C-alpha cells in the first residue's frame, strides 16, 4: 500500500491517521446483459458499458487544507475533524454509476463521515503549524463496450477514509 502526499509535502512531517481498514478489491463481475439504471435526459443511456480492470493504488492525500492550527512552542497543537465527504468519481465514457459501484465494491454516490484527531508538539522557541487534509483510497478502472468488446474510456474513484496531517516549524 502506498500513500501519495501533495507535491510540496515534506514526508518527514506527515502523519496518516486512518481508522478505516485497508481496501480490498471485490470479486464482482457485472453481467453484460444487466439492465441499466434510469438515466437523466441529458445523458444517453448506457446499455453496453462494463467496468473492468479495477485497480487499487493505495492512499492519496488531498491537496486542499481542510483545517489548520498554529502557535508558538512549547505547546501541542491539536486538530479534530468531523467531516462528511462525498466519494469522488470520474468517467471518460458513458457508464451507469451502479456499474462503477459494482466494480469497486462500494457505492460511489455515498457520502462518508470520518472523525479523527491529529496533534503536533511544537518545540520551545519555534512557531509550529499543523494542517489537515482529506485522505482517500484511490482506484482506477477501464470502461469497455461489451457489444463490440472494445475499450472506450477510463475513470477513477477517490473514497474518503480519514485524514493526513502535515506539521512544520519556522
60 found inside a domain = yes
Task: Give the rounded distance of the alpha carbon of 6 from its chain centre.
Answer: 13
As a whole number of angstroms, the distance between CA 81 and CA 61 comes to 15
Classify residue 50: in a domain, yes or no: no
Domain that holds residue 9: 3-20+55-90+103-138+158-169
> 79 lies in a domain?
yes
- Give 104-163 pLDDT, tens digit per residue: 999 999 999 999 999 999 999 999 999 999 999 999 999 999 999 899 999 999 999 999
Task: Decide if 151 is inside a domain.
Answer: no
Choose from 18-27, 31-40, 43-52, 60-69 the range with maximum mean pLDDT. 60-69
Confidence class for position 41, pLDDT limits 50, 70, 90: very low
Whole-angstrom Cα distance, residue 70 to residue 157?
33
Q: pLDDT over 90 for what percent of the chain? A: 69
Domain contains 146 = no
Q: What pLDDT digit, counting tens, does each position of 52-92 carry? A: 999 999 999 999 999 999 999 999 999 999 999 999 999 99
pLDDT band for position 30 (50/70/90)? very low
**Is residue 62 one of the residues assigned to a domain?**
yes
String of b and e for 10-43 (b: at least 16 CB within 10 Å)?
A: eeebbebbbeeeebeeeeeebeeeeeeeeeeeee
Query: Looking at the domain assignment, is residue 81 inside a domain?
Result: yes
- Among 123, 135, 138, smallest CA distance to 168 is for 123
Which pTM value belongs to this model?
A: 0.73
Whole-number Å distance between alpha carbons of 160 and 86: 7
Asked whether residue 117 is assigned to any structural domain, the reply reads yes
> What is the domain count for the chain?
1
Amino acid at each position: 500500500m502506498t500513500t501519495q502526499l501533495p507535491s510540496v509535502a515534506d514526508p518527514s512531517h506527515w502523519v496518516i491517521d486512518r481508522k478505516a481498514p485497508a481496501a480490498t478489491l471485490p470479486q464482482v463481475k457485472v453481467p453484460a446483459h444487466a439492465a441499466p439504471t434510469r438515466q437523466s435526459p441529458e445523458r444517453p443511456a448506457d446499455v453496453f458499458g462494463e467496468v473492468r480492470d479495477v485497480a487499487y493504488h493505495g492512499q492519496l492525500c488531498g491537496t486542499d487544507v481542510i483545517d489548520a492550527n498554529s502557535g508558538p512552542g512549547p505547546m501541542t497543537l491539536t486538530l479534530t475533524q468531523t467531516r462528511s465527504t462525498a466519494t469522488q468519481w470520474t468517467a471518460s465514457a458513458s457508464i451507469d454509476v451502479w456499474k462503477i459501484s459494482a466494480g469497486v465494491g462500494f457505492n460511489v454516490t455515498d457520502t462518508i463521515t470520518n472523525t479523527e484527531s491529529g496533534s503536533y508538539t511544537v518545540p520551545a522557541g519555534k512557531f509550529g503549524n499543523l494542517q489537515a487534509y482529506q485522505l482517500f483510497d484511490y482506484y482506477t478502472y477501464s470502461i469497455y463496450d461489451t457489444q463490440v468488446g472494445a475499450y472506450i474510456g477510463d475513470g477513477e474513484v477517490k473514497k474518503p477514509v480519514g485524514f493526513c496531517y502535515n506539521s512544520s516549524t519556522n
